[in-house]
């Protein structure tokens, strides 16, 4: 009995130590991220771009390349918009140049073979696509939340399991996406699927506590950039002081474009560490007049 007590005490101490080490590692990651020497660039009034290459496995025990834009969410002269096609697929850079955007990121999930989004999209009051429900009759995680744009100002909203739930959003432009990472300062529980757990290129949109919008892309599938799990993406958006954040389509679609620099990240479709590997997509979120 005495031996059993010692064994249980040892196991408890081991678990306590492991928990402490995991917490310490997470704290080190947050410090590495927040205190990093980010390259900062002004893209225009109210728009700042930040880029950082993490080497020597300095973030989440991996190499990472992360770029994000911080944008004032005023909805005045400059506004957020959605550009979309019903069937045609185009690179983010083409959508962005056609719209005279200042900055743009890829949008939601789409049919890579036949074109068109598989999620709800409405732009300037015009319905482009509805949520495509699978054989099980249930919405996917990327169909149960959305960004909404009303008079040029962006918000993040939670939905439900009804396919037509975005119809009730009082906004001229709506893009279903997800899953939600954080909503109203509450981190959402990520499921245990491979999509959530494995590292991939990721795109996310967040709203900070001060009301600014963050458009973020993390590269992946390279030795220079491992990519992020959804849990790691959630942490990064929290470290950027986002009170709400939402995941967008990722993988080869993940692209951040600016009028000043063109494609800033390294899209992975061509499997080269350059800026030429864009994947044609169905829609984009962009900021401009």
pLDDT tens digit at each of 289 positions of the chain: 444 544 455 554 444 444 444 444 558 999 999 999 999 999 999 999 999 999 999 999 999 999 999 999 998 899 999 999 999 999 999 999 999 999 999 999 999 999 999 999 999 999 999 999 987 889 999 999 999 999 999 999 999 999 999 999 999 999 999 999 999 999 999 999 999 999 999 999 999 999 999 999 999 999 999 999 999 999 999 999 999 999 999 999 999 999 999 999 999 999 999 999 999 999 999 999 9
> Would the pTM count as exceeding 0.85?
yes
Contact indicator for 87, 114 with CB cutoff of 8 Å: yes
> What pLDDT score was predicted for residue 136?
80
End-to-end CA distance of the chain: 75
> What pLDDT score was predicted for residue 76?
87
Q: What's the rounded Cα separation, in Å, for the pair 39 and 52?
A: 6
> What pLDDT score was predicted for residue 8?
54
> What pLDDT score was predicted for residue 72?
95
Contact indicator for 163, 176 with CB cutoff of 8 Å: no
> What pLDDT score was predicted for residue 26?
55
CB crowding 3-35: b at 16 or more within 10 Å, else e: eeeeeeeeeeeeeeeeeeeeeeeeeebeebbee
Helix (H, G, I), strand (E, B) or coil at 3: helix
> What pLDDT score was predicted for residue 168?
97
> What pLDDT score was predicted for residue 25?
52
Contact indicator for 96, 104 with CB cutoff of 8 Å: yes
Q: What's the rounded Cα separation, in Å, for the pair 46 and 43?
A: 8
> What pLDDT score was predicted for residue 137?
84
């Amino acid at each position: 009995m005495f031996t059993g007590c010692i064994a249980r005490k040892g196991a408890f101490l081991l678990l306590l130590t492991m928990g402490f080490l995991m917490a310490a590692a997470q704290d080190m990651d947050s410090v590495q991220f927040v205190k990093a020497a980010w390259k900062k660039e002004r893209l225009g009034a109210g728009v700042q771009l930040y880029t950082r290459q993490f080497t020597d496995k300095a973030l989440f025990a991996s190499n990472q390349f992360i770029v994000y834009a911080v944008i004032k969410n005023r909805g005045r002269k400059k506004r957020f918009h959605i550009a979309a096609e019903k069937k045609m697929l185009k690179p983010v850079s083409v959508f962005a140049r056609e719209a005279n955007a200042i900055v743009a990121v890829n949008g939601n999930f789409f049919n890579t073979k036949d074109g068109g989004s598989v999620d709800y999209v409405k732009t300037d009051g015009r319905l482009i696509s509805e949520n495509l429900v699978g054989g099980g009759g249930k919405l996917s995680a990327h169909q149960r939340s959305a960004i909404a744009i009303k008079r040029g100002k962006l918000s993040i909203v939670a939905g439900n399991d009804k396919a037509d739930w975005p119809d009730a959003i009082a906004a001229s432009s709506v893009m279903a996406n997800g899953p939600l990472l954080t909503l109203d300062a509450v981190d959402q529980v990520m499921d245990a699927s491979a999509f959530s757990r494995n590292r991939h290129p990721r795109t996310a949109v967040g709203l900070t506590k001060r009301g600014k919008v963050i458009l973020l892309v993390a590269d992946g599938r390279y030795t220079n950039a491992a990519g992020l799990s959804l849990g790691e993406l959630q942490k990064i958006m929290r470290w950027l002081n986002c009170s709400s954040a939402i995941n967008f389509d990722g993988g080869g679609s993940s692209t951040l474009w600016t009028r000043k620099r063109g494609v800033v990240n390294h899209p992975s479709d061509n499997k080269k560490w350059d800026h030429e590997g864009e994947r044609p997509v169905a829609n984009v979120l962009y900021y401009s007049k």
